[in-house]
Structure 1
Amino acid sequence: MKEFFKNHRFSLLIAITGIAFYFSFAFNLERNDFIKLIGLYGGLFFISFRLIQLEKTNFCFLAGLALLYRLIFLLALPNLTQDFYRFIWDGNLILEGINPYLFKPSELIGNFQGIWTELYKGMGSLSQNNFTSYPPVNQLIFAVSALLGGKSILGSVIIMRILIILADLGTLFFGRKLLQDFGLPQHQIFWFILNPFIIIELTGNMHFEGVMLFFIIFSLYLLHKGKWLMSAILLGISVSVKLIPLMFLPLLWNYFRKNQQLKIQKLWFYYATVAITVLLTFLPFLSSELISNFSASIGLWFQKFEFNASIYYLIRWIGFELKGYNIIAAAGKILPVLTLLIILGLAFFRRNRSTTTLITSMLFGITAYLFLSTTVHPWYLATPLLLSVFTKYRFMILWIGLVFMSYFAYSNPGFEENSWLLAVEYLPVFGYLIYEIFKNEFQTKKPVI
């Protein structure tokens, strides 16, 4: 032990500094304090990647730090989001025997008192006046958290955080195994697990992308091993946490078609298994209104909301110049179709023969989706960040280093975004991605795309 302290003094020093920074982030930060937020995040970004650089051969040390940093947030209420109030609201509705997909909070608040009033006020007007958009496995987690947390908001938060942390540990386990199978350095998984972006947005702000990603990475590991049936079930569960994995299904076409063990016939059974799994998770909530209410809530994100977009903002500017008004309603219908066409192009014209190539296609697909989206909250980047760990591409590390500048909008009463900060965020990302595609295209025999 004494030898360890002697040989790792600098690493321990910056690790302890990281504890102080995370504690300040968890307990002494207001969302509208943009300068402090960026300062802490920048410091943690440097600390984490310096630790990975210094201790990349010390897997247990880095894993222990990743867990310790997450535990700092355990007793703190999220300070960069108010979504958790809706999580607990939905969970308590289920415990009351009420289907959360059938009612807006504003339609029910008159029937409840006590903790319900605090949850209602905390979630904000947007959530109050819309149907829930969280799939059924998420709802199960909300219900368990509400049950075990009692009538305590913090108690429910603690339970949800524990589940998110366990999911991250599962991602660490299967992510490491995949890297071993691919012949890649095992420490690359810490670009995700020890990343302050992931620790803050998933554990700190309690976004369930982490749970979804655990099921995705577990599914990919089993698919790589040829266990396609269990892989399909797990992918179906991931869809029932967040809908994002649905976009990856077309990319499996060439992977099955060109794989001697799988073959194309099994792909249809794979798709059917995913669909049945998703349907089974929805069965407890099934009603005539579920599809319309859930679809309406999801549709809002494409045709009503705007935040931290890139290509869409350019299209919106052109729309103002040509039409004189915001064309989000039209663009919100066209851009998803364009995303689908890109994904189909990756599915049918790219050789997704190996698992690594498949993951690279998944990375390109979700990146295209985010570039064309009207709304890109920071935590949406968790999925492409994890996928990038298993590829040659590093543009996601640059993007997650810059994405917190989007929180500038919360620092002013009008919730206005700064166009210059958006340019600082996106231009380097676009530039570096183009450079990486060019480099990998011409330095390898097989084309990247």
Structure 2
Amino acid sequence: MTVRWVVSGFLILGGLAGFVLVSHGYGSPRLHLPLYVLAAALHLVAVLASRQVRASRAAVLLFVIVLALLLRVAVSLTPESREGDYYRYMWDGALTAHGVSPYRFSPAQILRGEVESPEVLKLSQEGRPVLTRINHPELRTLYPPLAQSLFALGYLIEPFNSTAWRAVLLLLDAAAGLLILFLLRSARLPLAWSICYLWNPLLIVETYHYRHLDLAMAPFLLLFFWGAWKQRPYLAAGGLAAATAVKIWPVLLLPFLATCLWPRRLLVVKSVLAFTVFAAMLFIPYWTSVRYESSSGTVAYAKTWNANELAFHGIQRISLRLTRTMNHVVDGRVASRAILLLLLVAAGLWLGIRARGRGAERLALAVATVVLLMVVAGPTVYPWYFVPAIALSPFLTRPALLFWTPLLILTYLSRSVPNPSWLLVMIHLPAWLIVILQLRDLYRRPGKAPDA
């Protein structure tokens, strides 16, 4: 193991330890974000150094896993925040665990006493500190059924407890980490490359401090990647359907089911049919959430949610002009999202064709590029949206997408700076350069993989 690799690993731990101390009030709150960015920058040093690691598998694996655990334990010591998405997770989990549809009532309806269900009223009394802290309480939940099952598991471990939810995330994190190590060995890539995921500060902070759901997609996306790489239609379809049932956007990866199995037409048909069946079964409880548009979180997110966007702002302006010429036959906000969806699906189809039959690295590069495009071109740009792409970075010889993480963290400043436009340009432009680099890597001839 190289000295630079080991030292940078411990420096990441030091940076995150400082982040935790500031969270508890030791030091100026202004240090919170710089320490987070510093840890992300140090991680890039470790990733670059990992390309020179040639030690025995046992020594590498032991060091990687021990430090990965220390990083997670350290960040798990941060206190709860006054607001956060995880309050809705805990409330949804309570409803689901008691057999009540989380899509039926909005938190505001329950707080106003408009719900007659004795079960819900009892839960609202037990979990009132959680219920009153939910963001956008006027909206019903938008999280798909598999996510709701995970929330319910957290509730069953310990009702209305964010540490229990962290435990659920840790189980999914461990599953993703084990899959990455297994797939690296299958692809004959160095196990040290797993630090792209296992030591990643953005992934660790967004999961164990802010407690965001997005890591829950990682093991399912890895199963999809494995199935697509090895041309196993049911594994690929099942993994993609499960990821879509955690958050809807992985449906953008559906073209890969066709491109990776082509020209074996029977396998293509099997995979698409399997995805359709799995997704339909998983989403049966979900369709009620879009029935009443005025209080549907899904509809509100799909039509009106915007945050830290740049490219999408241009798409939306063009869409609004077009709809004005059509006398507003179509809602411009919906049209802009439909245009983006078509562009991303087309990109997925094209990238899937480029990656077809060219090994694990090219497939991971193509899928990760679609995820990167979804984040940088989408209407909402948040650091935690990038977590699933990180799960694919260990398979890349040049994981350029990781160089966006320190900048992506700066989106937390967008609400506090007087003029955020310059900040968003500084964050977004490098991401588009990374997209270009990844497309270049997709076109170059594959080289010989390093020894594991």
Could you say whether these structures have the same fold, taking a TM-score greater than 0.5 normalized by the shorter chain as the test? yes
Counterpart Cα distance in 2 of 1:11 and 1:431: 26
* Aligned partners of 1:80 and 1:205 also within 8 Å: no
Residue 152 of structure 2 is aligned to residue 143 of structure 1: yes
What is the RMSD of the two structures over their aligned residues, measured on CA atoms?
A: 3.5
* Aligned partners of 1:251 and 1:361 also within 8 Å: no
Shift of 1:355: 4.4
Q: Report the CA distance shift for 1:293/1:379 in structure 2 as closer, same or farther (over 3 A).
A: farther
* Aligned partners of 1:22 and 1:69 also within 8 Å: no
Counterpart Cα distance in 2 of 1:359 and 1:42: 26
Shift of 1:406: 0.7
* Aligned partners of 2:223 and 2:236 also within 8 Å: yes
One-letter amino acid of the structure 1 residue matched with residue 38 of structure 2 = G
1:93 is aligned to 95
2:374 is aligned to 369
1:219 to 219, 224, 227: 224
Counterpart Cα distance in 1 of 2:169 and 2:148: 14
Counterpart Cα distance in 2 of 1:377 and 1:265: 39
One-letter amino acid of the structure 2 residue matched with residue 100 of structure 1 = P
> SS in structure 2 opposite 1:206?
coil
2:356 to 352, 357, 364: 352
1:270 is aligned to 271
After superposition, the C-alpha distances for 1:68-119 in whole angstroms (9 at most, x for unaligned) are 2212343544449611111111111223432111221112222535343322
After superposition, the C-alpha distances for 1:370-406 in whole angstroms (9 at most, x for unaligned) are 2321112111111223223323453311211201111
Larger deviation, residues 167-176 vs 356-365: 356-365
Counterpart Cα distance in 2 of 1:7 and 1:408: 31
1:299 is aligned to 299
2:177 to 169, 172, 175: 172
> SS in structure 1 opposite 2:391?
helix
Please give the residue correspondences for 1:160-309 in structure 2 after superposition, counting only pairs within 5 Å: 160-258=165-263, 263-283=264-284, 285=285, 289-292=288-291, 296-309=296-309
Shift of 1:427: 1.6
* Aligned partners of 1:131 and 1:297 also within 8 Å: yes
* Aligned partners of 1:307 and 1:374 also within 8 Å: yes
One-letter amino acid of the structure 2 residue matched with residue 163 of structure 1 = V
* Aligned partners of 1:209 and 1:383 also within 8 Å: yes
* Aligned partners of 2:144 and 2:248 also within 8 Å: yes
Shift of 1:424: 1.1
* Aligned partners of 1:171 and 1:218 also within 8 Å: no
Larger deviation, residues 162-171 vs 107-116: 107-116
Please give the residue correspondences for 1:16-55 in structure 2 after superposition, counting only pairs within 5 Å: 17-18=14-15, 20-24=17-21, 26-28=23-25, 35-51=30-46
1:312 is aligned to 312
Counterpart Cα distance in 1 of 2:6 and 2:402: 27
Counterpart Cα distance in 1 of 2:341 and 2:173: 30
2:162 to 152, 157, 160: 157
Shift of 1:40: 1.0
Counterpart Cα distance in 2 of 1:195 and 1:114: 39
Shift of 1:339: 2.2
Residue 395 of structure 2 is aligned to residue 398 of structure 1: no
1:84 to 86, 110, 114: 86
Counterpart Cα distance in 1 of 2:9 and 2:332: 53
Q: Report the CA distance shift for 1:212/1:306 in structure 2 as closer, same or farther (over 3 A).
A: same
1:411 is aligned to 416
Q: Report the CA distance shift for 1:98/1:223 in structure 2 as closer, same or farther (over 3 A).
A: same
Counterpart Cα distance in 1 of 2:101 and 2:48: 49
1:335 is aligned to 340
Larger deviation, residues 296-305 vs 198-207: 296-305
Counterpart Cα distance in 1 of 2:228 and 2:82: 36
Shift of 1:13: 5.7
Q: Report the CA distance shift for 1:406/1:91 in structure 2 as closer, same or farther (over 3 A).
A: same
After superposition, the C-alpha distances for 1:281-331 in whole angstroms (9 at most, x for unaligned) are 344x377x34535995333223201112121123456789998xx964542
One-letter amino acid of the structure 1 residue matched with residue 133 of structure 2 = G
* Aligned partners of 1:81 and 1:205 also within 8 Å: no
One-letter amino acid of the structure 1 residue matched with residue 374 of structure 2 = Y
Counterpart Cα distance in 1 of 2:414 and 2:80: 18
2:67 is aligned to 65
Shift of 1:212: 1.1
Q: Report the CA distance shift for 1:145/1:432 in structure 2 as closer, same or farther (over 3 A).
A: closer
One-letter amino acid of the structure 1 residue matched with residue 87 of structure 2 = Y
Counterpart Cα distance in 2 of 1:73 and 1:45: 14
